[in-house]
Amino acid sequence: MKTVVITGSARGLGFEMAKQFIKNNFNVVICDILEERLEEAKNVLEKLTRKKNNVLALKCDVTLEEDLQNVMNKTLEKYKNVDIWINNAGVNQPMCPIWEVESDKINRLIDIDLKSAIIGSKIAMIQMIKQGFGQIYGIEGYGSNDAMMLGLSVYGTSKRGLTYFLDVLAKEVDEKNLPIQIGKLSPGIMITDFITHSVGDESFELPEKTKKVYNILGDYPDVIAEFLVNKMINNKKNGVRINWLSNAKASFRFMTCAFNKRDFFNKLGDGKNIK
Ligand SMILES: NC(=O)c1ccc[n+]([C@@H]2O[C@H](COP(=O)([O-])OP(=O)(O)OC[C@H]3O[C@@H](n4cnc5c(N)ncnc54)[C@H](O)[C@@H]3O)[C@@H](O)[C@H]2O)c1
């Protein structure tokens, strides 16, 4: 049985990817800083499988190297190998210009969104070189393609840096002829806690203009997770970019938005009817 490790997987995209991997018969290791949510997530995952012992939930602050190493060690103790390692944990920034962002929030964001993915990839690489196979992924976001917007300077810098890092890592893997695949997951816009919460899980109100764009281009994370996980499971290529919101899909959404009244923010029923 194959094994996947996903950081930041107590909720949002990480949790939805975990569900998809369970459905595809993987051992799933979830880890997060939110202990209660992690336990709830574990219970949900266990109900999706008839097998015993194929879900492992570990408390982990990805900014601590010893926590990430502990996730790797506990995974190996239980499942022997790691087939896929996904650096998914991420936080948003308060939507204001850089001079209004407290320095501890800047540090925390860079530690979570950029540095933890570098250290996590290093830990995964060391194991995958030993075992002779494996895939490592990171999650792109606003700024990965050089886009700029007021209020996303630090987040955008971390995601731009992450994209660069994953490209270089893929090149290093190629040059050393290693049997490992590095990839970037580009999920587009997801309707998760992330879009209305910043570092430290502080909530903020989205501007109306942004809500309009999210209603057109956004999707719930379960749909996106299914797409991404299927692609990862079938991926054999190093340096791949798995992209949910292609230019063609985005253009189609804008062209049809007058007929397709989606509203994630004033939910009708449970809101799932707009999927
Ligand atoms: N939501 C979007 O529109 C969007 C768009 C592009 C990329 N992304 C990226 O997708 C990834 C997942 O985001 P999401 O939308 O599911 O957000 P989310 O807030 O729902 O989930 C993020 C998870 O990361 C965890 N986390 C935060 N700090 C952590 C830490 N120090 N240690 C361990 N876990 C920690 C959170 O507790 C949470 O469970 C992130 O990397 C984000 O940057 C999100």
State the pLDDT at residue 266: 79
Q: Probe ligand 1: pick from 7, 13, 142, 144, max atoms within 8 Å of CB? A: 13
Identify which of 36, 93, 192, 197 to mutate to test ligand 1's pocket (most ligand atoms within 8 A of the CB). 192
User: Which residues on neighbouring strands pair with residue 27, listed in sequence order?
Assistant: 3
pLDDT tens sequence across 101-155: 999 999 999 999 999 999 999 999 999 999 999 999 999 999 999 999 999 999 9
Q: Are 83 and 133 in contact (CB under 8 A)?
A: yes
Q: Show the CA angle centred on residue 87, arms to residues 179 and 171, nearest 5°.
A: 40
Give all domains of the chain, ordered by start, each with its CATH number: 3-210+218-246 (3.40.50.720)
In sequence order, the 6+-apart residues with CB closer than 8 A to the CB of 23 are 48
Q: Which of 29, 110, 190, 222 to mutate to test ligand 1, by most ligand atoms within 8 A of the CB atom?
A: 190
Nearest CA to ligand 1 atom 43: 90
- Output the pLDDT for position 201: 84
Nearest to 151 by CA among 98, 192, 187: 98
109 lines ligand 1 (CB under 6 A): no
pLDDT recorded at residue 267? 63
Q: Is the CB of 41 under 6 A from ligand 1?
A: no
pLDDT in tens, the chain (275 residues): 999 999 999 999 999 999 999 999 999 999 999 999 999 999 999 999 988 899 999 999 999 999 999 999 999 999 999 999 999 999 999 889 999 999 999 999 999 999 999 999 999 999 999 999 999 999 999 999 999 999 999 999 999 999 999 999 999 999 999 999 999 999 999 999 999 999 988 898 898 999 999 999 999 999 999 999 999 999 999 999 999 999 999 999 999 999 888 899 976 444 443 33
* E strand spans, the chain: 3-7, 27-32, 55-59, 84-87, 135-139, 181-186, 189-190, 197-198, 202-203, 218-219, 240-243
CA of residue 194 to ligand 1 center, whole Å: 6
**pLDDT at residue 269, as a whole number:** 40
**CB-ligand 1 contact for 88 (6 Å cutoff):** yes
Distance, CA 61 to ligand 1 centroid (Å)? 13
Q: Is the CB of 45 under 6 A from ligand 1?
A: no
Burial class of residue 182 (count of CB atoms within 10 Å of its CB; 0-12, 13-18, 19+): buried
